[in-house]
Amino acid sequence: MGLLVEMNGTRRITLGRRFLVGRANHCQLQLEANCVSGEHASIRWRDGAWYVRDLGSRNGTRVDDAVVASGDEVSLREGCELNFGSRSVGWRLEDVSPPLAKAIAERSGRVAEASQGLLALPSADSPECVLFLDGSGRWTAEGDAMHQPVADGDLVELSDDTWRLLIPARSDELPTTRAAEEAPRLVSSITVAIRVSRDQEFISVSLNDGSWSADLGARAFNELLLLLARAREEDARSDLGAADQGWVYADDLCKMVDVDRPLLDLHVHRARQQAGAAGVENPGQLIERRPSTRQLRLGTHRVAILES
- Average pLDDT in the 138-155 region? 85
CA distance 165 to 184: 27
Residue 169: exposure state from Cβ atoms within 10 A (0-12, 13-18, ≥19): middle
Helices and strands (H and E) in the chain: how many? 3, 26
> Which residues belong to CATH 2.60.200.20 in the chain?
2-96
Single pTM value for the model: 0.69
CB-CB contact of 92 with 62 (8 Å): no
Residue 135's pLDDT band (cuts 50, 70, 90): low
- For residue 90, the 8-state DSSP code is E
Angle (nearest 5°) at CA 299 between 297 and 302: 105
Q: 2-96: what fold?
A: Tumour Suppressor Smad4 (2.60.200)
pLDDT tens digits, 224-257: 999 999 999 999 999 999 999 999 999 999 999 9
CB-CB contact of 45 with 98 (8 Å): yes
pLDDT tens digits, 17-46: 788 999 999 888 899 999 999 999 999 988
Identify the H or E element spanning 292.
Answer: none
Three-class SS state of 250:
helix
